[in-house]
Amino acid sequence: MVLSDTNRALYGVRVVRIGRDNCRCSHRLEEETLAEEVPHFSRRTLVAGLAAAPALGLVTPAAAQTATTSAADAAKAALKDAKGTKLVLLGTAAGPVPGRPRKMTSHVMLSNGTAYVLDCGLGVTDRYAQTGIPFSALKSIFITHHHADHNIEYGPLLIVGWIQGMGLDVHAYGPPPLRQMTEDFLRAYKTTVDFWAEDLKMKPLAAVATQEVAIDGPVTQDDNVKVTAAIVQHPPVKPALAYRFDFKDRSIAFSGDTAPSEAVARVAKGADVLVHETMYVPALEKYIREQIAKGRPVKFEPFMAHMHADHTPAEDVGRIAQEAGVKTLVLSHLTPAIDSISDDTWRAPAAKFFNGEIIVAKDLMVV
């Protein structure tokens, strides 16, 4: 099993395989009073107003805190004295929409006591802290592309991480202009850093080693992992990246944000785990039609054409995973990020084409 036993107990995941041509997954996850959230919307001006639309019924703060605490405790238990490489899904929602129980996209991989973060959506710093992984373990940060739900908390993670013990030798990797972004952010916060360094007698965070990635191929390698990138299709963002992390004991691939792409199948070939962005089209279409009926200034056909040009429906996610021959498929960066959609509903379209294990991502789930 890929999902940790502790997390299986929390999320109630049970995978049932029927022959070679079908995979049916069932669950007993209680909804924990999580209600519908605002789904993911296009970042273009055409639908900018939709991204700020009120939630359909937000979970109460007390219920959200209870669910988060339980998930955090499960993550800490799964990571305590963990043997082998672990992946923690820190944030699993698509889109730059605040106020949801699911946070924006981010992940951390822990191998031999070293942490590697992939993407820095809003909430990454808190979620990282909730895992119990020390900030001193953080060695590298990778960004897939420059949309706010993937990079908005990159800078704050650097500053807060440094305050909490992150080493000055941390490295960052991602598409251009990551180097300029990093330098500009540290310049903007120089006064804050200097005050803290003076008061606490710390060496200031003056620079971060940054490597920009704009082509397919090797990115970096250390004693734990070899990292490879592939260019994917997420117009108008260029370049947008998928990544593969080959650890000594397992390989983990990430699609990033992309339309259905052969590049993902290639970079994920034979991987143990593929984390792929997933769009459930019927729920998205239903929600957009309801919004149009309420007077939202968006046209259905152009909106859905944009979404299909930029994102991957669940059926295609299953096809890509099957073509890549991965062992476990994790559906994440969920569009729309509505908790009332059941795990079985998310799984079913992908399971028509993928015969392996399918996991529907939850924040702080350990895989």
Domain boundaries, the chain: 5-96+104-366
Residue 271 near residue 253, CB atoms below 8 Å: yes
Per DSSP, helices labelled H in the chain are 5-11, 48-51, 61-79, 124-130, 148-151, 154-163, 178-188, 190-200, 262-267, 281-293, 300-310, 314-324, 343-351
Residue 259 near residue 234, CB atoms below 8 Å: yes
Q: How many helices (H) and strands (E) does the chain have?
A: 13, 16
Place of tokens 């802290």: 129
Place of tokens 């998205």: 284
Residue 93 near residue 40, CB atoms below 8 Å: yes
**What 8-state DSSP symbol labels residue 46?**
G
Phi–psi pair at 292, nearest 5 degrees: -65, -40
pLDDT, tens digit only, all 367 positions of the chain = 456 544 554 554 433 333 334 433 333 333 332 233 333 333 333 333 333 333 333 455 666 667 788 999 999 999 998 889 999 999 999 999 899 999 999 999 999 999 999 999 999 999 999 999 999 999 999 999 999 999 999 999 999 999 999 999 999 999 999 999 999 999 999 999 999 999 999 999 999 999 999 999 999 999 999 999 999 999 999 999 999 999 999 999 999 999 999 999 999 999 999 999 999 999 999 989 988 999 989 999 999 999 999 999 999 999 999 999 999 999 999 999 988 999 999 999 999 999 999 999 999 999 9
**What 8-state DSSP symbol labels residue 93?**
B
CB atoms within 10 A of CB 113: 12
pLDDT at 59: 52
Nearest to 341 by CA among 3, 11, 35, 98: 35
Residue 228 host element (H or E): strand 225-234
Top CATH class, 5-96+104-366: alpha beta
Can you name the residues that pair with 108 across neighbouring β-strands? 88, 117
* Burial of 281: CB neighbours in 10 Å, binned 0-12, 13-18, 19+: middle
pLDDT at 69: 86
CA distance 229 to 231: 7
pLDDT at 82: 84
